[in-house]
Amino acid sequence: MRELRLPCATVGSGSYLPDDVQFLLRPVNLELTDVLEKERLIQTQQKHYSEMISAEHAPSATHMTLYERSLRQNGVRMAADVQALALALAGHAPGTTLALVSFVRAGLPLGVLLRRALRDLGRDVRHYGISIVRDRGIDQDALDAIVDAHGADSILFVDGWTGKGAIAGELQRCLGADPRFTDAPRLVVLADPCGRAWLAASAEDWIIPSGILGATVSGLVSRSIWPVEGGLHGCVVYDALREHDVTRSFIERIEAARVGVAAVPARPWTPVQAAGLQAEALAVVQGLARRFDIANFNRIKPGIAEATRAVLRRVPDQVLVRDRGDADVQLLIHLTDRAGIEVQAVGDELGPYRAVTIIRGVSR
């Protein structure tokens, strides 16, 4: 194993402990773009979403109350799923250092937890946070540095969940012709309702506690920023949100629960299972596109986490849920009520998903 060699300074480990992760992102200062203007620029194809960023605010007291409720409701489940994934990964590439490569931001908490679980199982593990951008690609400089240091066979990619499978598809597009990766990219997630990950703890769409916060549970970094002039991808560091940061406490709480759980190793989908999940998820997205006359599937954000983030970051038209009484969608309903966004309960129309946000179409 060689030392990691990077072309410029990075943001280090953010607000994580230094051993938990190394971000391969450079700090940037980017002028804020109003959410409405950002949506207009995205949909009129004048700018890519990764070239802009809007203000990220501290979560409200109600938001944090619902975050705490999600931890009580699903913290033990997350701990058990982390352990199940770690047990499955512990035997991968024996005799070498494993390199967990988490996608910023949703993959970060899972990557940190997997690193700790794998170390407890006797594996030598390094953990990196890098950028991948839909329709633009992976941070090639960051990936090259990891491959040079550890070898491609040691790499396991980590994300929090799948929605439509866009990031899984982007990863395959970027690495499919890369001769260093002799097998399909190994993408590991907690929840994979669309069946596009290599390894998942389940296919269920459930409220992952870290999925309902942003920077304050992900090391105080923004989502990644595309480097217009090339080089490492960037991010904004939200020092102003430090007093609201639960990054480390979240990890410690899930870790404390993981010590006492019993788990069996997760297993990759069989081809039949993956095909079934993919077909069901695609049918839902295509059906919603027909119902709402949507040509661009990027306006459809399926899954609780993606639906919640779309309400916080984008300009939603409406939100669909399977059941308004579902405990896992209460934060989403709180956010929609506050913003005056319509919520429809549509039952089984959502297939494997428990919530979907439809982004409002904008004119030029």
103-134 pLDDT, tens per residue? 999 999 999 999 999 999 999 999 999 999 99
Domains present along the chain, CATH in parentheses: 22-258 (3.40.50), 271-359 (3.30.1330.30)
Is the predicted pLDDT of residue 349 greater than 80, yes or no? yes
Specify the pLDDT at position 294.
93
Which candidate, 350, 347, 321, places its Cα nearest to that of 334? Answer: 321
pLDDT above 70: percentage of residues in the chain: 99
Looking at residue 41, what is its pLDDT?
Answer: 92
For the chain, the distance separating the N- and C-terminal CA atoms, rounded to the nearest angstrom, is: 52
pLDDT given at position 182: 86
Residue 3 in 3-state DSSP?
coil
pLDDT tens digits for 10-61? Answer: 999 999 999 999 999 999 999 999 988 998 999 888 999 999 999 999 999 9
Give the model's pLDDT for residue 313.
Answer: 84
Confidence of residue 1 (pLDDT cuts 50, 70, 90): low
| pLDDT at residue 6, rounded to an integer | 79
191-239 pLDDT, tens digit per residue, is 999 999 999 999 999 999 999 999 999 999 999 999 988 899 999 999 9
238 CB-near residues (< 8 Å, 6+ apart): 56, 215, 216, 220, 221, 222
Contacts of 282-288 with CB under 8 Å at 24 or more apart are 282/194, 283/351, 284/349, 284/350, 284/351, 284/352, 284/353, 284/356, 285/164, 287/349, 288/320, 288/356, 288/358
pLDDT band at 363 (very low <50, low <70, confident <90, very high): low
Q: Which of 135, 172, 123 is nearest to 49 (CA)?
A: 135
pLDDT digits (tens, 9 = 90+) for 303-338: 999 999 899 888 899 999 999 999 999 989 999 998
Is residue 166 very low, low, confident or very high in pLDDT (cuts 50, 70, 90)? very high
User: Which pLDDT score is estimated for 203?
Assistant: 97
In the prediction, which pLDDT does 95 show?
85
Per-residue pLDDT band for 339 (boundaries 50, 70, 90) equals: confident
Average pLDDT over residues 141-160: 95
CA triple 307-318-200, angle to 5 deg = 20
Residue 221 per-residue DSSP state: B
Confidence at residue 183, expressed as pLDDT on a 0 to 100 scale = 86
